[in-house]
Structure 1
Amino acid sequence: PPTYVDEERKINGKDGKEIEIWITCTIKGTVKKAMPKANIIYQTLNCPEFTCRTTDFFSGESLYLHFKSPVNGYLSVFLRDGNTVYRLLPYDDMTEKYHKAVPVKGDEEYILFSKKDKYFDNENVNELELFTYLKHAYNSIYIIFAEEPYTKPLLDQDQVSEYKERYRSPKSLSLEDFNIWLSGNRALMDSFQDRRVKIKIVKD
C-alpha cells in the first residue's frame, strides 16, 4: 500500500512567517516493459479466395476470413450482433484441444470457414451465412489473437436458427460479458489483441 509523510515548512510570506504542509506519497510496485504486438493481417471475404475482400455483404452471402500472423499463436473469432456476441471460431464441434482457441502458425495463410479449411486436423468446419430481415444491418467481427493460450469466455449453447431449416446460430454470450472477458485478457497478457472489422449486411 502507499505510504504518506506530512512535512511542515516555514516560509516567508507577504504577511511574515507562514507554514506550508508538504505531503509526500510513496508507492512501491513493479513495472513491465511494453512490447510491440504482432502485426497480424485479417480481411473479411465473401468467397474463399484472397481476391474476395469486402466488408459489404448481401443477406444470404457466405462469410470467410483471411488471417495471417508473423508469429505462432492462438486465434478465436467472434461476431457481434447488437447486444449478443457469437463465437465463430473455434468451430462448434472441435475436439477438446481446440476448445479455447485454435493454434495458428507464423507466416501461414489461413482462409477460415471454408470447406477447404484443413488447417486443424480435418476438424468439422462451420460454414457461415450472414442474413438480416432489415433493409440493412451492421455487425462487427472481432479477431482475437495472442502468442500465449488464453481461456475462452463462458458461452450459451447454439440455437436453432429461424433463418433456414437445419441452420443453427453459433454459441453466444452477452456483449457485457464479452467486454469483461476482453478487459481481463488485455490486462493479463501483453500479446493479447482484439481487432474489429465492421461489416454491412444488405437485404437482397
Structure 2
Amino acid sequence: MILMFPLMAFAQKTKKVCGEYIYYAPSTQSLEDAKYTALERAKLQALADEFGTVITQSNSTVMTMENGKTDSRFFSLSGSEVKGEWIENVGEPEYEITFEQNMLVIKCAVCGRAREIQNSTVDFTAKILRNGTEEKFVSSEFHDGDNMYLYFQSPVDGYVAAYLIDESPTAFCLLPYQADSDGQQFVKHGEPYVFFAPEKAKEEMNLVDQYTLTCSGAAENDQIYVIFSPLPFTKAVDNAGGNLLPRQLTYREFTEWLANCRKKDNRMGVKVIHITVRP
C-alpha cells in the first residue's frame, strides 16, 4: 500500500483529452506535412479546451541582404499558449482527407493523456546555434554543410538530453554523447553550456560529438527536443546509426520513453525547437 499510493496520486493528475482540427493546407505543402500540422493543432485544441490558454505576443526582425542591399522586415505575432502538456497518444489519430476548391483539407481527431502545466517544471534556456558558438548565432534556418550547436543554461543543477526528430520520423540521440557510457549529461546551475563544440567542452574533448547537417533534396523540417530535469534520468535505449549518423530509435519508441519519464517526474521539462534544413 505504501508503494501504490504515490502512483495512484500521480495518476489523478493526468486526464484523457480529445480534440479535432480542420486544416486547410497550402498548395506547396506535402500530404505528410499537412497531416502532421493537423495532428499537432488537434492536440493543441484538446489541451486548450481542457486547460485553457494564456495570450502571448512576440516580436522579431528579419535582416536579409541581396545584390548588396539590406532589407529588414518586422513581424509582430500574437497568439496563445496552452496551459497543459501532451503526455502520450491514446489510440491512433484519425484523418479525413478531402479537396475543396482545389485545396487539400485535412480533418484530424486525436485523443491522449495530458496534464495541466504546473510550476514545478524548471524554466531552462535552450537555443540552437548555426556555424558559431555564441548566442548571436541562434537560428532555425540551416543549409547543407552547416554546423549545429546547442546552447543551454539552467537555474538549478540537473540532467539534460537532446534528440533530433526528422521527417521519416526517426529519433536521433544527440546528447548524451555516444561515448558517454553513463547515458546521462549532468549540468551545473547558472553555467552556460555549448554542446557539440570540442573547444567549449566542460568534459573530456574525446567525448564530444560534432554535428554537420545535410540536405541533398527538398528542404527538410526537423525538430530538436531538449529535455531537462533536476532528477537523474537516462537516455532511451537506442541503436547504432550507420554512415556516421547518431544513435537512433523509432519515433514511437522515443515518444513512449519520453511519456514514461514524464509520468514519473513532474519536474521534467521539454522544449521543442523547429529547424529547417535546405540544400
Uncovered stretches (5+) of structure 1, i.e. residues with no partner: 1-28, 161-167
Post-superposition offset of 1:119: 1.3
Shift of 1:121: 4.0
The answer to which structure, 1 or 2, has the higher relative contact order (CA under 8 A, 6+ apart) is 1
Distance, in Å, in 2 between the alignment partners of 1:85 and 1:115 is 23
1:110 aligns with 2:110: no
Task: Write out the 4+ residue segments of structure 1 that deviate beyond 4 Å after TM superposition.
Answer: 31-35
SS state at 2:231 partner: coil
Q: Is the 8 A contact 2:184 2:232 kept in 1?
A: yes
Q: Secondary structure at the match of 2:136?
A: helix
CA contact (8 A) 2:176 2:235 kept: no
What residue is the counterpart of 1:39 in the other structure? 123
1:116-131 equivalence runs, <5 A: 116-131=199-214
1:101 Cα deviation (Å)? 1.8
Name the aligned partner's letter for residue 78 of structure 1: Y
Which deviations, in whole Å up to 9, do the C-alpha atoms of 1:118-164 show, x marking residues without a partner?
A: 2124442111001112231100001011111113211011212xxxx
Is the 2:195–2:201 contact (alpha carbons within 8 Å) kept by the matching residues of 1? Answer: no
Q: Is the 8 A contact 2:158 2:228 kept in 1?
A: yes
| Gapped regions of structure 2 (runs ≥ 5) | 1-7, 14-117
Q: Secondary structure at the match of 2:275?
A: strand
Q: Which deviations, in whole Å up to 9, do the C-alpha atoms of 1:66-111 show, x marking residues without a partner? A: 10000000011110012110000111112x3xx2220000111011
Residue of structure 1 in register with 2:233 after alignment: 150
Q: Equivalences for 1:92-107 in 2 at 5 Å?
A: 92-94=178-180, 96=181, 99-107=182-190
Check the 8 A contact 1:68/1:107 in 2, yes or no.
Answer: yes
Paired residues of 1:135 and 1:202 also in contact (CA < 8 A): yes
Question: Counterparts in 2 of 1:8-27, with a 5 A limit?
Answer: none
Within the alignment, does 1:197 sit opposite 2:176 as a pair? no
Deviations for 1:22-80, whole angstroms, at most 9, x for unmatched residues? xxxxxxx5369955211101110011111101010111100001100000000111100
Aligned twin of 2:245: 169
* Partner Cα distance (2:247, 2:202) in 1: 22
SS of 1:42's equivalent in the other structure is strand
- Distance change in 2, residues 1:123/1:38 (3 Å): farther
Measure the CA separation in 1 of the matches of 2:263 and 2:198.
36
Q: Could you tell me whether the CA contact under 8 Å between 2:239 and 2:247 is conserved in 1?
A: yes
Q: Return the index of the structure with the highest Cα Rg.
A: 1
Q: TM-score scaled to structure 1, two decimals?
A: 0.76
Quick one: distance in 1 between partners of 2:155 and 2:204? Answer: 22
Percent sequence identity is 25
Cα distance in 2, alignment partners of residues 76 and 134 from structure 1: 29
Please, what is the CA RMSD of the aligned residues? 1.7
Equivalent pairs, count: 165
Letter in 1 for 2:188: K
| Structure with greater proportional helix content | 2
Partner of 1:23: none
Give me the whole-angstrom Cα distance separating, in 2, the residues matched to 1:135 and 1:174.
22
1:91 corresponding residue in structure 2: 177
Find the partner of 1:159 among 239, 242, 245.
242
SS of residue matched to 1:67: strand
Which secondary structure does the structure 1 equivalent of 2:270 belong to?
strand
Output the amino acid matched with 2:277.
I
